[in-house]
Structure 1
Amino acid sequence: MAILTQEEAKKIIDKVLSYAKADETEVTLSGGRTGNIRYARNNVSTSGETNEIGLNITSVYGKKSGSSSINELDDESLRKAVARAEEIAMLAPENPEYMPMLGPQDYPESKTFVQSTDDINPDYRAQIGADSMGPSGEKNLVAAGYLEDFSGFTAMGNSKGMFGYNKSTSVDFSVTVRTADGLGSGYAIRDYNDVNLLNSREVTNIAMQKAQASVNAQAIEPGKYTVILEPTAAGDLMGLLTRSLDARSADEGRSFMSKKGGGTRIGEKLFDERVNIYSDPSNPIIPGAPWDNEGYPQKPVKWVENGVVKNLYYSRYWAEKQGVQPVGRPSGVIFEGGNQSLADMISSTERGILVTRFWYIRGVDPQTLLFTGLTRDGTFYIENGKIKFPVKNFRFNESPIIMLNNIEALGQQQRVGGDLIPAMKIRDFTFTSLSDAV
């Protein structure tokens, strides 16, 4: 399916709104093409491409709302969908937290669409797989990987005159490589808007090197260690931190940002002064959508500055209740890093652990932001500035809050899951037990 132009999308949305009888009506129209290739044991297992389009209608009477969704855009289907949403709204209970729909907004231009990613075809996906499986097979290694590319659009409009349109592309690639005996395992992952930045052979080489180096892992005692977290591992925990910056949870006493006696800890220095976290939808490496999760224009926001928490997410409802301006959740965050490479960090470490990534992370205590999980796919012991040998995987119990007060160094940034995350060198990271998983 071709991506609808802004004019085509608006014409359909305006037609839906012309059929509406409710007090307020909102329409979201989105669609696109998703392609993929999956392989395991150095052989392609699945590959395909889907083309989808969908339209969602929300009708509101007072504080009662109802929604319907369709994937047919002829006039009769649109009329029926509007009628169904209005019927559901009339039957629904009132939502005491309902906020009126927004009026016209001035959305910034987005850089989320890249033509080269939109041009991806089955031949390209096959080549990506070949560039990963071929080198692995030549080294008697076994690769399993997945590539997914997307190219599409989202448009939204309502009966109060708000309208927004955005095109976007994305490509995600991950690969796990194991030795033939299954005793060594390596992993690497990349995500971009621009497929020209992806080199699957290079990414696979990283996983191959880790797989070969992690054979014959030795068991060492759990405890507190200096750790070097590659950006993927750091991102696993930093994402949990930034997603917890919610004002309502803090005000209601359910968060690490809750203040004893009530209120939030905005303005308090909670982290090392080197910690700076912000969002900027115009960033060229992680460009953001034009609007946030509630339809407000995306703007640059400082979340943490020199270790001091500056902002929390405020929904429109909670912002009005607290008498402040809404602050929406960003599509991606930027954690400022440094210039050190992983090699620099390793060479400066007397005794420590290098972690490729974490897995199976679960929350333990939201008020201290304590998490538990496992290392995986390449964990190594460092001594006197050199990697000495691979070690068996650990279970950890740690809080990102404590981590960000135990920083020894911040390294170079890498895009991880739509965020920009640096490698991190952290002292006194808590490993509680060993794991037999590879």
Structure 2
Amino acid sequence: MSSILSESEAKALLQKVLSYSKADECEVSLMGEQRGNLRYARNEVSTSGSLVNQNLTVRSSFGKKVGVAAIDEFGEESFEKVVRRSEELARLAPENPEFMGVLGPQQYLGSKGFFESTAAADPASRADAVLKSLELSRSQNLVASGFLENQTGFSATMNSKGLFAYYPSTNVNFSLTVRTPDGMGSGYVARGYSDIKKLDTAGATKIAIAKSLGSVGAKALEPGKYTVILEPTAAVVLLENIFSSMDARSADEGRSFLSKPGGKTKLGEKIMDERVTIYSDPMDDELPASPWSGDGQPQEKRSWIEKGVVKNMVYSRYWAEKKGVKPVPFPTNMIMQGGDATMEEMIRSTKQGILVTKLWYIRRVDPQTLLLTGLTRDGTFYIENGKIKHPVKNFRFNESPVIMLNNLETLGKPERVVSTESDRNYLIPPMKIREFTFSSLSDAV
């Protein structure tokens, strides 16, 4: 059996599994994927790999007692066995006080995340794409290390109340670090797309090469507060801490940056610059995503922060019922609106500042303010009188993305970027920020 099933094949398989159920309620989730990758280091390919995976998970319930079992071996005997195992576990389990029954049939938006071009990618096409990158680094006596991976997959779910959902998708991620032979200069670039035709490994490599050569001879600057220009690759690892912290329960219970004293939240309050608008949209052309959440709730275009004002928070079905509001599922993508400024215009408008290519090793210091710490690397540059003057040694920073978005000066055009912390794709603009806090120097290159 192929790991990638069509909608009709997935539906038939799920119906077969459900037919074995004797529970009060039963939900069956199915996923399949095929991945191919090429890894290279020191200008040589080190690994060519592939992965084929399929999983089926059964969630059975008797009253408020729930059991879950999963398999990755498919067959009639295995299907019945996993259903029985989930039922056995349910009977042994204590009652779940936050139990919510399965949903009935839902209406979903269309699917836009599958591209035949990406699904057709094979070892030969990956090798060709990587060769274009390697030829550039080799020709300039630079050392390249990168990773290219494309993925084709689907997810589907069905339950005993008649709900059925199916979503096919494709994705390709490319990341590259280019260093000078002495290791003193380093440049980084990452790209992610649903359609592999948009991937230009040569163009991306030229950017990493320029940063690598430009970062040689870095000079130390005193730590302190600086105007910074964050490229989308740098900004995204800060912003996704906002994206993942929009949970209403955490806010209500005083554990979130959206909490207020006395058990209140900041819903409806302005907490950022009015140019900040963050939303999700599964039908976005550049960042298509699943039109349904993990529990089967429909996804739709939704504003989370609009002109700096908190418009929505994530409400699980349990917490929504407890609070007497409508459930709001966790989004399947996140997008931040941008402006019209180019990177060159941002640099020209900066009297003194720092251009940051990448931030990494992000850690939370305080969840209630979203204070984060981490390091710059792979291309950090000093700007003076509208021009990049010289590379600078890397910094450790201590900053909250919430405070950062209150110190916003300029936004550029959003770009699809890959987070180095989570490997998730987002649409994020480059941004110019004043008074960004660098706390100490770092020896990283």
Q: Which residue of 2 aligns with 1:28?
A: 29
Alignment pair present for 1:422 and 2:429: yes
1:105 corresponds to which letter in structure 2?
Answer: Q
Q: Distance in 2 between matches of 1:245 and 1:239?
A: 10
The correspondence for 2:439, drawn from 429, 432, 435, is 432
Task: Determine if contact 2:3/2:53 at 8 Å carries over to the other structure.
Answer: no
**What residue identity is the alignment partner of 1:69?**
A
1:94, distance to aligned residue in structure 2 (A): 1.5
Q: 2:58 matched to 1:57?
A: yes
- Deviations 1:30-65, CA, capped at 9 Å, x for gaps: 112110000000011111212222211111111111
1:421 partner amino acid: I
Q: Look up the match of 1:179.
A: 180
SS at match of 2:203: helix
State the distance in 1 between where 2:289 and 2:78 align: 33
Partner of 2:152: 151
CA shift, 1:2, in A, is 5.5
With normalisation by structure 2, the TM-score equals 0.97
What one-letter code is carried by the residue in structure 1 that aligns with 2:92?
Answer: L
Alignment of 1:329 onto 2:330: yes
Residue identity matched to 2:40? Y
SS across alignment from 2:191: strand
Counterpart residue number, 2:47? 46
Q: Secondary structure at the match of 1:16?
A: helix
User: CA separation in 1, counterparts of 2:72 and 2:171?
Assistant: 23
In the alignment, is residue 304 of structure 1 matched against residue 305 of structure 2? yes
Runs of 5+ in structure 2 lacking a partner? 419-424
Structure 1 residue 294: deviation in Å?
2.5
Mapped partners of 1:73, 1:393: distance in 2: 51
User: Structure 1: which amino acid aligns with 2:344?
Assistant: A
Compare 332-341 and 67-76 and name the one that shifted more: 67-76
Measured after TM superposition, the shift of residue 419 of structure 1 is 1.4
SS class of match (2:50): strand
Residues 287-336 of structure 1: per-residue CA shift (max 9 Å, x gap): 11010233111111111111111111111111111111111111111111
- State the percentage of identical aligned residues: 59
How far is 1:213 from its partner? Answer: 0.3
In 2: Cα distance, 1:155 partner to 1:306 partner: 36
Give the SS at the match of 1:269. coil
1:95 Cα offset (Å): 1.2
The structural deviation recorded for 1:72 is 2.5
Greater Cα offset, 300-309 or 382-391: 300-309
SS of residue matched to 1:261 = helix
8 Å contact 2:276–2:337 — kept in the other structure? Answer: yes
- Aligned to 2:240, the other structure's residue is in SS state helix
Between the aligned partners of 2:246 and 2:84, the Cα distance in structure 1 is 39
- The one-letter amino acid of 2:15's match is D
User: Which 5+ residue runs of structure 1 have no aligned equivalent?
Assistant: none
Shift in Å, 1:138 = 0.7
Shift of 1:69: 1.3
**C-alpha deviation, 1:120, in angstroms:** 0.2
Aligned match of 1:220: 221
SS, match of residue 208 in structure 1: helix
Aligned-residue CA RMSD (Å) = 0.9
Q: Is the 8 A contact 2:39 2:146 kept in 1?
A: yes
Aligned twin of 1:75: 76
CA distance in 1, matches of 2:205, 2:297: 40
Matches of 1:300 and 1:92 in 2, distance apart? 38
Counterpart residue number, 2:422: none
Moved more, 235-244 or 341-350: 235-244
Q: Deviations over 1:213-242 (max 9, x none)?
A: 000100010000000000111111111111
Alpha-carbon distance in 2 for matches of 1:334, 1:67:
33
1:76: Cα distance to partner?
Answer: 1.2
How do 1:278-317 residues align onto structure 2 when only pairs under 5 Å count? 278-317=279-318
CA distance in 2, matches of 1:18, 1:292: 24
* TM-score, structure 1 normalization: 0.99
Is 1:109 aligned to residue 110 of structure 2? yes
- 2:90 is aligned with what amino acid? A
Report the counterpart of residue 245 of structure 1 in structure 2.
Answer: 246
| Matched letter for residue 388 of structure 2 | I
Counterpart of 2:421 in structure 1 is: none
